[in-house]
Amino acid sequence: MTRMENSEEKFKQLFGEGINGIEATDPDFQEIMNSFIFKEVYKQGKLDNRMRELTTIVVLTVNQNLLQLKSQVAVALNIGVTPIEIKEAVYQCAPYIGFPKTLNAVNEINEAFKANNILLPLQSQKTVTKETRLSKGIAVQTEIFGDLIPKMRANAPENQKHIQDYLSGFCFGDFYTRGGLDLKTRELLTLSMVSSLGGADSQVKAHVQANKNVGNNKATLIGVITQCLPYMGFPRTLNALAYVNEIFIEN
């Protein structure tokens, strides 16, 4: 996102007419929020505009902040994030938050797209078939997590092996193999999602390690988590940072 000197204009872009009510009823709160998000967080780190927007979009999706999501999509389009990138980022949320919440977000995005004269449906990004989704899912899962995956699948109790197949075929086969976003971006967005959920500590730690495995460095992870902060709060932010510091020992 372009780092506007006029942070109030930025606030209006994201929150629309709601700013008028906040200015009238809660001016101190509006000033604090405006200043923190757009004068501090947006100037921190070296994330590009595309990554800032996609990170914010997935956190708003996870937290079901649908009014703000619709406004954020309009801003993302305005600075050059493609419709396919936006849709793929939100589709990626489905394995982590479930279909109903993801569909809520998709509906808001479709409204924002229609308002911007974007024709739907978008070009398909699917690269697997019913026959190949599991094998290709296992392949990308193993690429990300290494030898842990075949061991985890082999050691699963007999009555839970179907869950491992779902994880490989659905989460990784149906989504991680899609076009529109590269693997490093998908992993950064997944870390943002699981960090925003709360109560998913083992998944946060696993995806910090996964980000390291696919080549995302510590500074990038700190930048992404910082971008999440205004939308998920300090407890979840500090929890995610603790795992970053645990796994990336270097300064």
Q: What is the value of pTM for the model shown?
A: 0.92
Map tokens 């709360």 to a residue.
198
d(CA 131, CA 133): 6
Stretch 13-42: mean pLDDT: 80
Q: What is the DSSP letter of 37?
A: I
- CA atoms of 145 and 126, how far apart (whole Å): 22
| pLDDT at residue 251 in the model | 53
Q: Is the dihedral of CA 109, 174, 232, 51 positive or negative?
A: negative
Question: Which residue is listed with tokens 């994880």?
Answer: 167
Taking alpha carbons only, the member of 185, 2, 182 closest to residue 78 is 2
pLDDT at residue 53 in the model: 96
Please write the tens of the pLDDT for every residue from 140-188: 999 999 999 999 999 999 999 999 999 999 999 999 999 999 999 999 9
Q: Which amino acid is at 238?
A: L
Q: Kindly state the tokens that stand for 182.
A: 């590269």
Alpha-carbon torsion, ordered 129, 130, 134, 136, to 10 deg: -10
CA dihedral (238, 243, 244, 246) in degrees, to 10, reads 120
77 has a pLDDT exceeding 50:
yes
- Is the pLDDT reported for residue 25 higher than 60? yes
